[in-house]
């Protein structure tokens, strides 16, 4: 049942439907579809009791979540899509989970993902790929592909993902739903498995911009368990917004169907009376290489904790003879190919002799990219770009070609490098597939972003 949180709330509050009805519809849909789509790694049976105990007036009453399986829900398995954590049970609630519980939301289950959130197709999951509900031969995007597919296919009406370089926005674009990555530091990462800590941010995947706003408002704010968090500094929304189109985002190699749809979408924006002008972000071409180096460096440090001592493979296996054997067995058998590739690359980039040439240089580029945005936001209030260079590709098509897989993130990584809020939403179609557009604003200007994105949603629906 494809329904927004808002519609669900209205129906529930008016008594048009009961929570039992809704839940049985979501569960029936999941039962019918999950075997093929593989959107959920686990489905909960306590959800009905949870929702019955909630106050109807809470802001997230009527929100039924798929939570990406790298976010901890106390007492439930949290696998990160990795064989290494197949048996891991979360000992506490992530801050975002605690907030959702307090504000009336409930959880349907945990969403499939690329191992430790590393990938753009959900094919790197140790528990099999998720399939795109629009065409099951194709990928749903990644790494939050399971959650995006569940929301798009009506198995739930809300999703929580994590975005390090595009993992909320790119699967939202491939599945035709809304995906929002907030300003870095506005949402707590406590209880979210770290991939690359200076980029990671939690955010919603939904069927409407308004639902994304509702969830964001419920989960944001300072958290003493995450020292980079701050309360959202609310900025005023200007009356007449000026939108920039960065010319560097219209690169060669963009699939024709995507290019056409996005150009048409921008024409519609102009016709609707919104001021649009071309702008330039000159360092854009260096964004993906800089992201790859910094991300892999942070991954290599963060994934060091999976050592077979604190976290590791199942406990009933024979005990390794030496500590080195324990490391080798757990990391050798536990991690998949992509995780190993990134650990090796990151360790290399951080090693003496290469640190300055790669890591420091990438950090310098990161500053240049942030400066580009700073300048451009003195001219315009928001930016519109394509979300992805291609339509959903076939399962297996890019698995053996990691470089071409990484190109999927070319338009999304810049927001993580600069810590900006960014949202992807459908702006048109090519055959049966949706094409996504991305809207960005300056840091902490989420209210402007929501205001504009709601307008765009209306304009692009027609």
Q: Catalytic positions, please? A: 68, 143, 167
Distance CA 332, CA 57 (A): 50
**Of the candidates 297, 323, 318, which has an alpha carbon nearest to the alpha carbon of residue 308?**
323
Q: What six digits make up the tokens of 380?
A: 């315009």
Task: Return the residue of 66, 143, 157, 300 that touches ligand GLN, per CB under 6 A.
Answer: 143
Residue nearest to ligand GLN (CB): 167
Distance CA 96, CA 111 (A): 16
Residues of this chain, 352-411, that bind ligand GLN according to CB under 6 A:
409
Asked if 165 interacts with ligand GLN (CB under 6 A), we say yes
Q: What six digits make up the tokens of 181?
A: 């990555």
**Apex 262 CA angle, 261 and 264, nearest 5:** 65
Which region, judged by CB under 6 A, interacts with ligand GLN, from 49-57, 98-106, 113-121, 447-455?
Answer: 113-121
**Three-class secondary structure of residue 418 per DSSP:** helix
Complex with ligand GLN: residue 39 or 422, whichever CB lies closer: 422
Which region, judged by CB under 6 A, interacts with ligand GLN, from 17-25, 163-171, 310-318, 434-442?
Answer: 163-171
Complex with ligand GLN: residue 47 or 408, whichever CB lies closer: 408
Contact 349, 355 (CB under 8 A): yes
**Apex 212 CA angle, 211 and 218, nearest 5:** 90
Which region, judged by CB under 6 A, interacts with ligand GLN, from 114-122, 263-271, 353-361, 444-452?
Answer: 114-122
What single-letter DSSP state applies at residue 229?
-
Complex with ligand GLN: residue 62 or 191, whichever CB lies closer: 191
User: Site size for ligand GLN, by CB under 6 A?
Assistant: 14
To ligand GLN, the closest distance from the beta carbon of 312 in angstroms equals 23
Distance CA 361, CA 349 (A): 11
Task: Return the residue of 8, 9, 120, 297 that touches ligand GLN, per CB under 6 A.
Answer: 120
Complex with ligand GLN: residue 295 or 343, whichever CB lies closer: 295
Task: Return the residue of 287, 295, 410, 420 that touches ligand GLN, per CB under 6 A.
Answer: 295
Distance CA 138, CA 37 (A): 10
**Of the candidates 171, 238, 239, which has an alpha carbon nearest to the alpha carbon of residue 203?**
171
Residues that bind ligand GLN (CB under 6 A): 117-120, 143, 162-167, 195, 295, 409
């Amino acid at each position: 049942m494809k329904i927004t949180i808002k519609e669900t709330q209205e129906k529930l509050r008016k008594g048009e439907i009961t929570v039992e009805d809704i839940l049985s519809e979501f569960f029936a849909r999941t039962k019918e579809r999950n075997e093929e789509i593989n959107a959920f790694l686990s489905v909960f049976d306590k959800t009905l009791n949870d929702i019955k105990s909630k106050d109807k007036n809470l802001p997230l009453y009527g929100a039924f979540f798929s939570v990406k399986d790298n976010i901890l829900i106390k007492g439930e398995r949290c696998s990160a899509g990795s064989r290494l954590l197949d048996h891991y049970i979360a000992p506490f609630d992530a801050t975002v989970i605690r907030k959702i519980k307090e504000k009336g939301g409930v959880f349907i289950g945990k969403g499939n993902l690329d191992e430790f959130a590393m990938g753009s197709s959900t094919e790197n999951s140790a528990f099999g790929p998720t399939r795109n509900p629009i065409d099951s031969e194709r990928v749903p995007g990644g790494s939050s592909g399971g959650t995006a597919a569940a929301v798009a296919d009506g198995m739930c009406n809300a999703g929580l993902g994590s975005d390090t370089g595009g993992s909320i926005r790119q699967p939202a674009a491939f599945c035709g739903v809304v995906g929002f990555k907030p300003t870095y530091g506005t949402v707590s990462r406590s209880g979210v498995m770290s991939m690359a800590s200076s980029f990671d941010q939690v955010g919603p995947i939904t069927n409407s911009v308004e639902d994304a706003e509702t969830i964001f408002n419920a989960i944001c704010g300072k958290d003493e368990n995450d020292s980079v968090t701050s309360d959202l500094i609310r900025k005023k929304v200007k009356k007449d917004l000026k939108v920039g189109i960065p010319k560097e985002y219209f690169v060669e190699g963009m699939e024709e169907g995507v290019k056409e749809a996005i150009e048409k979408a921008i024409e519609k924006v102009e016709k609707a009376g919104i001021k649009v002008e071309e702008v330039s972000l000159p360092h854009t071409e260096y964004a993906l290489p800089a992201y790859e180096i910094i991300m892999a460096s942070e991954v290599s440090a963060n994934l060091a904790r999976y050592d077979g001592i604190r976290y590791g493979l199942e406990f009933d296996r024979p005990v390794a003879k030496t500590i080195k054997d324990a490391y080798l067995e757990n990391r050798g058998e536990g991690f998949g190919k992509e995780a190993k590739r990134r650990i090796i690359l990151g360790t290399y980039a951080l090693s003496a002799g290469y640190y300055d040439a790669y890591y420091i240089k990438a950090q310098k580029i990161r500053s240049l990219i942030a400066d580009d945005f700073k300048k451009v936001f003195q001219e315009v209030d928001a930016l519109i770009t394509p979300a992805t260079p291609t339509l959903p590709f076939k399962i297996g098509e890019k698995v053996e070609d990691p470089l071409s897989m990484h190109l999927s993130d070319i338009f999304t990584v810049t927001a993580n490098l600069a810590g900006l809020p960014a949202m992807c939403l459908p702006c048109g179609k090519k055959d049966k597939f949706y094409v996504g557009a991305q809207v960005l604003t300056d840091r902490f200007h989420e209210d402007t972003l929501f205001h504009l994105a709601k307008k765009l949603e209306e304009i692009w629906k027609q």
